Structure formats: C-alpha cells, structure tokens
Amino acid sequence: MKKAMTNQVFSPSRRALLAGLGGAALASGLGLPAFVQGQALAQAANTLSLRARPATVALGAGLPQSPIWALETVNPAASAAALRFSKGDLAVTLSNELPALIVLNWLGIDGAQAASPLTGQAPIPPGGRVSFTLPLRQAGTLLVNAQLLGGTADRPVSARALIVEDSPPVPADRDEVLLIEEWRVKADGSALAPGSNPDGTKVAYTVNGQPRLDLTARVNERLRLRFINGCARSPLGLRIENHDVRVMAIDSQPSEPFPARDGQLVLAPGSRVDVLIDATRAPGTVSPIVLHDGTGPRTIAQLTMSNDAPARAAPLPPAAALPSGNLPARLDLKNALRTDLSLDPTAQWIAPVKFEAATAPAYRVKRGRTVVMAITNPTTAPAVFRLHGHHFRLLDRLDDGWKPFWLDTLIVDKGQTQRIAFLAEYTGRWLMEATALNWAAPKLLRSYTVE
C-alpha cells in the first residue's frame, strides 16, 4: 500500500529554492458550466480608483492587530481577493492618504510608460492625487504594490492582485487567487517595512490578507489557481499535495504547459504562476498547500474534496496552452545588442529616492532590436532582478536557445551569471530593479532606454 502524500514533508533547502528560481524547476470545452469567478469581484467597467491609507490587520495567532498601509478601492465592496478587468485601457486614479510619498509598481504589464514608476509617474506626496491610463493588452495575473520607494515607508504596504480576463474564458470551473505576503512583526503587533532591521520580529505570512485559506472542490472539477508571491524579499516554495499540477502561465504570460514535479512550484519575490488542477480525489480528501521559505514548512491553505455531486462524470482532458500573447515567437540573438550588467550595489545602482530624470541609463537600444543581457551577481548573497517595460526569455547556457516561458523577475545566486534576452518593443525609459534576498537589504535601481 502506498504511503499517503499528506504524510510526506516538503522541505527544500534555501539553495534548492534558489536553484528552482533560476528556471530549472519550472522547466522540468467539454460540458463546462458557466465560468465562476470565485472570491474575486468583476469590475463593471475598466476604471480603478485606489487610495493608499492606514489600515490594521491580524498577522499572526496571539498577536494584536498590526497597523499597516494598504491599497484600498474606493468602493468597499471591491475589497475581494483580486480586481478583475477585461483587456483594453484601464483608467486609474490613486489618492495618497498616507504621511509619506508613494508610487505604484505594476508587475506584469509591458509598455505602460505613463504608469511606469519614477520614469513615467512621479511619487505622489501626502494628500496628492493622480490619474492615468494603463493599457491592458494581455490577459494574465498581475500584481500592484507600493514597495518601490523602500526607505520612505514607516510601515509595510499590502499589495493587490489584478486579473486581466481571458477572452474567450479559459475552460475552468473555478478561478482562485492566492496572494501570499510576508510580514515581520514585533511582539506588540508593530510590523516593519522591508529595508529595516528585522531583529526581534516574528515571520508571518498571509494569503489574501488572512492567515490561512480554505478551498473546496467537487470531484472532477477543474480549478485555476493563480499563485502570487507578494513578498518583498523572500522566494517561496509551494507544494500542492495529492493532486497533479499543470503550469499554464508564469509572470503574467502563457507558457508551454508542463506538469509541476511532485506538485511543487518555486516563485521569486513578485512572481506569479497560474496552474490548473483537476480535482479527482475521493470526497473528504484534504490536500494541504504547503509553503516553504527555506527555513521550514507551513500549511497556508488547503483544498478539501466535498461530498457534493461530481462536477462531471469523468475528468476533463488535459488543457491546451493558453492563447499566446503579443510577444515574439523568435528572438534574433545573432544581431542582438549585447550588454553586461553587474548586480554589485556599487556599480552605479542607486536608491529609488535618489533616482532622477537626468540619471544616465545603463544602455540605449533602438526599438525593434533584441537585447541580450549577461547579469552577474558578484556579491556574497543571492539577489532578485526585475526588468520593467518588457518580458524576457531566460537563455540556455550556450545562448543557443531559451526556456519555454517568459519572465519579468529572476533570482541570480551569489557568484552566478544568467543571460536573458528580450525584444525592445516599447520606446521610453524603463527601470531595472535589484535587491538582495535579505529583509534589511535596500532596493536599488538602474534604467535602460528604448529609442
């Protein structure tokens, strides 16, 4: 008799997490009912009004309520797990009710110069208000946060998931978002902002703002789960027990579908992974969703098979790939602009609060040309790199091919060099972020220009 999967322990080392984040771990319509949007709220029109304001939240058992800063919708009814919109232009308004500067960072949206933090949108002062248009060209799972300015924040700021709906809808019975955020909390309940010394704090995680998420499924029901690592500094390993997990999209872009080995996923800070699960276990089966940050496992959610009537007589056939986006099928590596980028913090990287329009870009490239970047981390700690404005391919070691997915965020281990390539499609000036995987580490910026 086989040992139940629920008795196995998912406990990868921190180095195993980082290896997975380098790309290796990711690479290893029949009678459907009307699409159900789960806990998220569908927006009536493509308008989004946000306000950054003080809030309180329960971050751990036995701890008092923690004061934080939050991105809230003007309509209290829109405080669901995710904000959902159709493709097209999104009219955004942001009001700053905080005692500090704020700028929004949109992860997963390419070519949105008007909303690009610092290069398109200046920080908003306390009491300020700004409106702009955000082009939603591609369906996918996005993340918006206000962590970019780092040192200006007295408190951590919660993030929001934003979903651009597929048209036509993807064949799935349920669509659930799991936005995972990390907090550093003192005994008195005070939570520290990233970039500060975390000594004397307890690590806490929330899923959609709660300490734990419970999901149910009927036999033969198909679930789309959108996992979002909203942590500021920590990579995450996740394992969905008892079920086959099929990866469908990474960092807001469709990938070639592939099974997640042993139901395991690895996400860099800010990364998003969409998976499909066919719930085929017996009624009453409880499947933990286990999180591992390199220090130890913890159950952050669970999926329970209900005793209700099956969704259908048999499981659906394997899902086809999601509709491809507007990214190129091939990249011209032969005629690419090749450039080296060191993640050494002394190599012309600057703090966000010191970034100015006159700051020289790391390089300039003509629109329509491929860029190949060799990103080297000469430091003694792993670092996360994020490219704004464009998605990139992670190249194979010999530059003779690439992984079958697009990324906007990548972990580069200490002493490691990773090569990426992207098509410089959108003119403008775009940020590049680099941050060591350490809660106290500052966020650093450089930029590049597409002419």
Q: At CA 227, angle to CA 271 and CA 198, rounded to 5? A: 60
pLDDT, tens digit, for every residue of 81-129?
689 999 999 999 999 999 999 999 999 999 999 999 999 999 999 999 9
pLDDT attached to residue 324: 86
> How many angstroms from the chain centroid is the CA of residue 111?
18
The CB density around residue 180, as the number of other CB atoms within 10 Å, is 24
pLDDT over 60 (residue 71): yes
CA atoms within 13 A on the CB side of 83: 25
Containing 53, the helix (H) or strand (E) segment is strand 47-57
Least confident segment among 168-172, 191-195, 261-265, 334-338: 168-172
Percent of the chain with pLDDT over 70: 88
Containing 27, the helix (H) or strand (E) segment is helix 24-27
Quick one: 58 exposed, middle or buried, by C-beta within 10 A (0-12, 13-18, 19+)?
middle
Share the mean pLDDT of the chain.
88
Q: Which CATH superfamily does the domain covering 337-450 fall into?
A: Cupredoxins -  blue copper proteins (2.60.40.420)
CA distance 398 to 391: 20
pLDDT attached to residue 443: 94
The residue that leads in pLDDT, 3 or 175, is: 175
Rounded mean pLDDT, 394-402: 84
pLDDT attached to residue 31: 34
pLDDT over 80 (residue 331): yes
The CB density around residue 12, as the number of other CB atoms within 10 Å, is 19
Rounded mean pLDDT, 60-76: 85
CB 235 within 8 A of CB 285: no
CA distance 256 to 80: 30
pLDDT attached to residue 24: 41
- pLDDT band with cut points at 50, 70 and 90 for residue 2: very low
Phi and psi torsions of 302, nearest 5°: -150, 150
> How many angstroms from the chain centroid is the CA of residue 59?
20
Instruction: Strand 370-376: give its sheet, edge to edge.
Output: 337-342, 370-376, 417-423, 392-395, 402-407
Copy the structure tokens of residue 202.
């307890």
pLDDT, tens digit, for every residue of 267-301?
999 999 999 999 999 999 999 999 998 888 999 99
Q: How many residues would you count in the chain?
A: 451
pLDDT over 80 (residue 167): yes
Least confident segment among 145-154, 375-384, 416-425: 145-154
pLDDT attached to residue 400: 72
CB 12 within 8 A of CB 292: yes
Percent of the chain with pLDDT over 90: 79
pTM confidence score:
0.91
Rounded mean pLDDT, 24-44: 39
pLDDT attached to residue 157: 93
- What is the pairing mode between strands 402-407 and 370-376? unpaired
CA distance 74 to 315: 41
CA distance 430 to 343: 17
pLDDT over 70 (residue 5): no
pLDDT, tens digit, for every residue of 241-274?
999 999 999 999 999 999 999 999 999 999 999 9
- pLDDT band with cut points at 50, 70 and 90 for residue 75: low
Rounded mean pLDDT, 75-85: 70
pLDDT attached to residue 212: 92
CA distance 419 to 399: 8
Q: Which residues pair with 447 in a beta bridge?
A: 431
CA distance 351 to 206: 28
pLDDT attached to residue 42: 42
Best mean pLDDT range from 12-21, 35-44, 212-221, 398-407: 212-221
Query: What Rg do the C-alpha atoms of the chain give, in angstroms?
Result: 21
CB 129 within 8 A of CB 93: yes
pLDDT over 70 (residue 70): yes
Tokens 């986006």 belong to which residue? 325
Q: DSSP character for 6?
A: G
- pLDDT band with cut points at 50, 70 and 90 for residue 169: confident
pLDDT attached to residue 46: 87
Containing 26, the helix (H) or strand (E) segment is helix 24-27
Positive or negative, the Cα torsion across 113, 114, 117, 121? positive
- pLDDT band with cut points at 50, 70 and 90 for residue 217: very high
Positive or negative, the Cα torsion across 275, 278, 279, 281? negative
Query: What SS3 class is residue 9?
Result: coil
CA distance 358 to 149: 18
CA distance 406 to 255: 7
pLDDT attached to residue 60: 77
pLDDT attached to residue 28: 38
Q: Which residues pair with 273 in a beta bridge?
A: 227, 250
pLDDT attached to residue 286: 96
Q: Is cis: bond before 76, omega within 30 of 0? A: no
Quick one: 39 exposed, middle or buried, by C-beta within 10 A (0-12, 13-18, 19+)?
middle
The backbone region for 122, taken as left when phi is positive above 0, alpha when psi lies in -120 to 50, beta otherwise, is beta
Rounded mean pLDDT, 306-333: 93
pLDDT over 80 (residue 25): no
pLDDT attached to residue 152: 61
pLDDT attached to residue 12: 60
pLDDT over 80 (residue 73): yes
Q: What is the DSSP string of 380-424?
A: SS-EEEEESSS-EEEEPTTSS-EEEEEESEEEE-TT-EEEEEEE-
Listed by start position, the domains of the chain span 337-450
pLDDT attached to residue 295: 83
pLDDT over 50 (residue 406): yes
CA distance 117 to 411: 21
